[in-house]
Amino acid sequence: MSIPADLHYTPEHEWVSVEGSVATVGITDYAAQQLGDVVYVSLPSVGAAVTGGEPCGEVESVKSVSDLYSPVDGEVTEVNTELDDDPSLVNAEPYTAGWMFRVQLAQDGNGDTALPPDLLSAAEYEELTKSAG
């Protein structure tokens, strides 16, 4: 199971990477393995406002359906339409071709864009998956 060191994580098993003020979001390798073969990903629309910790889509696998949570506040600028044709990318390449959506991060009171402070580091996320068994 892979947990890249340079990404941020949530307890709901999303990962976040940031370039400038844009965050890219997907689900972790651990989550994809737990779900099994992903058959459908319902993503937020481009332009939609998302809120950290709130559901913004669904990941449907052979055995179950799970909410997809946004780890960040902001506006969706892009979604991975490749997943429509090939949702198995989420299982095969969860951190690269299986990415799900991009968010223009909301500005805080100082006009800065920052990630929420409660995101987990790779080491913290690894601990969480270990304690989950």
Partner 1 sequence: MTPFAGWQMPLRYRSETAEHQAVRHAAGLFDLSHMGEILVNGPGAGAALDYALTGYLSAMPPGRARYTMICAADGGVLDDLVVYRQGEQEFLVIANAANTAVVFGELLSRASGFDAVVTDATDEYALIAIQGPAAAGILGPLVSMDLGAMKYYAGAFGDVAGVPAWVARTGYTGEDGFELFCRPADAVGVWEALASAGASAGLVPAGLAARDTLRLEAGMPLYGNELGPDMTPYEAGMGRVVKFDKPGDFVGRAALLARSLAGPRRELVGLTLQSRRVARHGYPVFADGIQVGTVTSGAPSPTLGQPIAMAYLGADLDARAAVLTVGIRGEAVPAQLTDLPFYSRSR
What is the contact surface with partner 1 in residues (CB under 8 A)?
Answer: 36-37, 39-40, 42, 58, 60, 62-65, 88, 91
Alpha-carbon distance of 118 to 133, in angstroms, equals: 22
Structure token pair of residue 27: 């689900």
CB 9 to partner 1: min, Å:
24
Rounded Cα distance, 68 and 89, in Å:
16
- State the nearest-atom distance from the C-beta of 1 to partner 1, in Å: 14
CB 4 within 8 A of CB 123: no
Residue 96's SS3 state is coil
Residue 108 DSSP class: -
Residue with Cβ nearer partner 1 (47 or 133)? 133
21 vs 88 by CB, closer to partner 1:
88
Q: How far is the CB of 125 from partner 1 (least distance, A)?
A: 21
Identify whether the C-beta of residue 30 lies closer than 8 Å to the C-beta of residue 129: yes
Which CB atom, from 1 or from 62, has the smaller least distance to partner 1?
62
Shortest distance (Å) from residue 63 CB to partner 1: 5
